[in-house]
Amino acid sequence: LPEESQPAPLQIVLVSPRNPLNIGAAARAMANFGFTHLTVVAPYAPHWQEARSAVGASDLLQNAKVTESLAGAVADCTLVVGTGTLTHRKPEQPVVALPDLPSRLSPEIERGGRVALVFGPEKHGLTREDLSCCHLLVEIPTHPRQPSMNLGQAVAVCLYQLAARLTAPARDNTQPHPSSSRPAALTAPSADLDLLSGVIEKVMLAARYSPTSMQGANRHDLRLFLRRLALTRRDARRVLGFFRRVLHRLERRPE
Between residue 173 and residue 212, which ones bind a second copy under the rule CB under 8 A? 173-178, 180-182, 203-204, 206-209
- Compute the distance between CA of residue 208 and CA of residue 202 in angstroms, rounded to an integer: 10
Q: Which stretch binds a second copy (CB under 8 A): 6-14, 62-70, 169-177, 187-195?
A: 169-177
User: Strand 10-15's sheet: what is its strand order?
Assistant: 65-67, 38-41, 10-15, 115-119, 79-83, 136-139, 95-97
* Min dist. Cβ of residue 130 to a second copy (A): 19
Interface with a second copy includes 119 (CB under 8 A)?
Answer: no
Containing H/E element for 79? Answer: strand 79-83
Interface with a second copy includes 123 (CB under 8 A)?
Answer: no
For residue 104, which amino acid is it?
R
Among 153, 195, 219, 237, binds a second copy (CB under 8 A): 153
Among positions 56-75, residues that touch a second copy (CB under 8 A) are 58
Q: Is the CB of 42 or the CB of 51 nearer to a second copy?
A: 51
Q: How many Cβ atoms sit within 10 Å of the Cβ of residue 147?
A: 15
Interface with a second copy includes 241 (CB under 8 A)?
Answer: yes
Interface with a second copy includes 50 (CB under 8 A)?
Answer: no
Interface with a second copy includes 213 (CB under 8 A)?
Answer: no
- Compute the distance between CA of residue 221 and CA of residue 238 in angstroms, rounded to an integer: 21
Identify the DSSP state of 86. -
Q: Which stretch binds a second copy (CB under 8 A): 4-12, 41-49, 73-81, 172-180?
A: 172-180
Pick from 38, 25, 134: which is nearest to 86 by CA? 134
